[in-house]
Amino acid sequence: MASEPHHVVIVGAGFGGLATARVLGNSPVRVTLVDRRNYHLFQPLLYQVATAVLSPSDIAEPIRRILSRYKNITVLMGEVTGIATEQREIQFAGRVLRYDTLVLATGATHSYFGHSEWERFAPGLKTLEDARRIRANILLALERAELETDPEVRRRLMTFAVIGGGPTGVEMAGSIAGLTHEALEREFRNIDPRRARILLVEAGSRILPQFPEDLSAYAERALVRLGVEISVGAPVNDINADGIQVGETFIPCGTIVWGAGVRASPVGDWLSRETDRAGHVSVNPDLSVPGFENIYVIGDAALAKDDKGTPLPGLAQVAQQQGYYLGRALLRRITKGEEPPPFRFHSRGNLAVIGRNAAVVEWNDVKLRGFLAWLVWGIAHVYLLVGFQNRLIVTLRWLYAYLTYRPGTRIIPDDRGGEAMAKPNEPRGT
């Protein structure tokens, strides 16, 4: 054995990277985890930050704290800008870091299908800053409507559009409906937030296409009951400061949220490897990148396939299982020289929440909907949250919001509020 222990560098502390690190914790390998943020983000609840139910820190836990018990793991904060595969080095924060094995778990960002100019008007929901921005947009639209005297402008300001009928879009639309139609009663004098118009726009033939048809149909009914208008079968052809073009119809909107497309982080560029259209890098059954025996890609940046050749979905549970698998596989390979078996994904079910007492759950042959599904969703998410204080506070905020109909974190950050209200006719964003 050489004197220097094997050095595993993990880039990204999402579900995948963190799982890998945990398995390698207190093992004979040396681990460095690099992330451009100092916290692990619990993305499944991001939409609740965007709709003022939770506070950013409730779903963010410092990476250092999570890994502090593992003496062999060093956490460094910095943004990776490139990889020199020949030298076995990553470039980040103006420095270089040598690796023996590299794990890339850098996730995904939004994709606007070639229309990057739409981002300005229709932010997506991937980071805490995105959530803070969407929360500010929603609350500012109502503040402006309260000030507005022109009824047409007021109607536009009180129209909220969510683009994309997947779980994120459904959760956002349901949550905006809860906020405007239930929580803000009696707080405004010139507008009635209960009359806010909330649109969910899906280009395909039904919302929640990942779920069986009867659960999609239930979700549609539940959303309509919450006061959400659903449009399916027509794509969004344009987005600008005034609204969205759905098929042939232009709909004036005050707030637009993008939940339609994602694109993998630039791992393909770093490795000079071809990717699919969404930027995913193809990986071998053991999650290594073809042509590199010591580089692995997991989670939303990877294109992994199941036994039938179907690509695995971009879910937290996929990334997490890949992370645990890869940690164990690396230990076997590095410490014992053994070849691990290929990765296999075991689905823990699909969940999507619609609103108060309404959710859908699918797990093998089990299908749940309504209150029971909602309860399962809530308990599962509190359980999966990282950090005891976060679990306690999220539970408390949910109980409070459930009993009073009042979400707890309705602040518009200074850096957006003042500026935006001073120029009420400018588009929000950037």
Is residue 47 part of the contact set for its own copies (CB under 8 A)?
A: no
Q: Which of 26, 28, 79, 306 forms a contact with its own copies (CB under 8 A)? A: 79
Q: Which of 128, 253, 264, 386 binds its own copies (CB under 8 A)?
A: 128
Answer for the pair 257, 125: CB distance below 8 angstroms, yes or no: yes
Q: Are 247 and 237 in contact (CB under 8 A)?
A: yes
- 91 touches its own copies by CB under 8 A: no
Specify the pairing of strand 350-355 against strand 358-363. Answer: antiparallel
Q: What are phi and psi of 350, to 5 degrees?
A: -115, 135
CA dist 121 and 390 (Å) reads 32
| Calpha distance 66→281 (Å, rounded) | 28
Asked if 95 interacts with its own copies (CB under 8 A), we say yes
- From 82-90, 182-190, 281-289, 375-383, span contacting its own copies (CB under 8 A): 182-190
Task: From 34-42, 100-108, 152-160, 377-385, give the range in contact with its own copies by CB under 8 A.
Answer: 34-42
Per-residue binding letters, 131-150, with its own copies (x by CB under 8 A): --------x---x--xx---
* Shortest CB 34 distance to its own copies, Å: 10
The dihedral over CA atoms of 223, 227, 233, 239, expressed in degrees to the nearest 10, equals -120
Q: Measured from the CB of residue 191, what is the shortest distance to its own copies in angstroms?
A: 11
Q: Which is nearer to its own copies, 65 or 197 (CB)?
A: 65
Decide if 79 is catalytic: no
Does 214 bind its own copies (CB under 8 A)? Our answer is no
DSSP state string for 326-388:
HHHHHHIIIII-PPPPPP------EEEEEETTEEEEEETTEEEESHHHHHHHHHHHHHHSSSH
Q: Which of 5, 7, 23, 76 binds its own copies (CB under 8 A)?
A: 76
Residue 201: C-alpha distances to residues 123, 283, 372 (Å): 15, 33, 27
Q: Does 45 bind its own copies (CB under 8 A)?
A: no
Please identify which residue in 5, 7, 25, 38 interacts with its own copies, judged by CB under 8 A. 38
Q: Which of 25, 56, 266, 311 binds its own copies (CB under 8 A)?
A: 56
> Contact between 311 and its own copies (CB under 8 A)?
no
240 makes contact with its own copies (CB under 8 A): no
1, 114, 422, 430: which one contacts its own copies (CB under 8 A)?
A: 422
Q: Does 60 bind its own copies (CB under 8 A)?
A: yes
Q: Which of 61, 143, 148, 171 is catalytic?
A: 171
For residues 393 and 407, give the distance between their C-alpha atoms in angstroms, rounded to a whole number. 13
Q: Which of residues 151-180 bind its own copies (CB under 8 A)?
A: none
Strand partners for 64: none
Using an 8 Å Cβ cutoff, are 182 and 144 in contact? Answer: no
Q: Is 98 in the site for its own copies (CB under 8 A)?
A: no
**Sign (positive/negative) of CA torsion 177, 182, 184, 187?**
positive
List 5, 7, 188, 206, residue binding its own copies (CB under 8 A): 188
Binding of its own copies by 39 (CB under 8 A): yes
- Provide DSSP, 12-33: --SHHHHHHHHHHTTSSSEEEE
Q: What are 81's two structure tokens?
A: 């800008």
Helix (H, G, I), strand (E, B) or coil at 59: helix
Cβ atoms 8, 31 nearer than 8 A: yes
187 binds its own copies (CB under 8 A): yes
How many chain residues are in contact with its own copies, going by CB under 8 A?
59
Which residue shows structure tokens 């500026």?
A: 419
Other Cβ atoms closer than 10 A to 364: 8
User: Between the CA of residue 365 and those of 55, 334, 378, 379, what are the distances in Å?
Assistant: 36, 39, 21, 20
Residue in 82, 113, 116, 129 binding its own copies, rule: CB under 8 A: 129
Q: Interface with its own copies by CB under 8 A: which residues?
A: 36-39, 55-58, 60, 62, 64-65, 68-69, 74-79, 93-95, 127-129, 139, 143, 146-147, 184, 186-190, 388-390, 392-393, 396-397, 400, 406, 408-415, 417-418, 421-424
Residues annotated as catalytic are 171
